[in-house]
Amino acid sequence: MATSQIQTVNTTADKAKLAAAAAMVAVSLVAYYALSKQGPLFQWLGLLAGLAVAVVVFLTSETGKALLAFGQESTKEIRKVVWPARREAIQMTLYVFGFVFVMALFLWLTDKTLEWFFYDLILGWKK
């Protein structure tokens, strides 16, 4: 029986990197509003520069590295997918539309039949 070993290592340095990244996001927002007198160009440059530093700090943490690895593995898996040809995609779309139409018709007929049965026959509430 194969068991996967999951190790979660949260060192103090890693926690400090995550805290620093969160602090940089906060500093970026404060800088955006503090630079309002200098104009929108400086506001956006301050915000984007602070967010870029926060992203770099986050990506150096173990959580950030795991996120990058997940993204790379996801990209590899997407490349393995065999996408349907145009004709197959159109056929499957038409099948779905056809099924939805038939199901809608069935539900409408069921609703009208029950409405007729309960309101007209049992309760006698004719419209």
Residues of the chain with pLDDT under 70: 1-9, 126-127
Residue 90 and residue 34: Cα distance in Å, rounded? Answer: 54
Pair (68, 89) in one structural domain? no
pLDDT of res. 120 = 85
> What does pTM read for this prediction?
0.58
Assigned token pair, 94: 């038409």
pLDDT of res. 123 = 84
Pair (123, 89) in one structural domain? yes
Residue at which a domain ends, from 81, 99, 118: 81
How many structural domains compose the chain?
Answer: 2
Pair (60, 18) in one structural domain? yes
Pair (125, 97) in one structural domain? yes
pLDDT of res. 53 = 96
Domain span including residue 62: 9-81
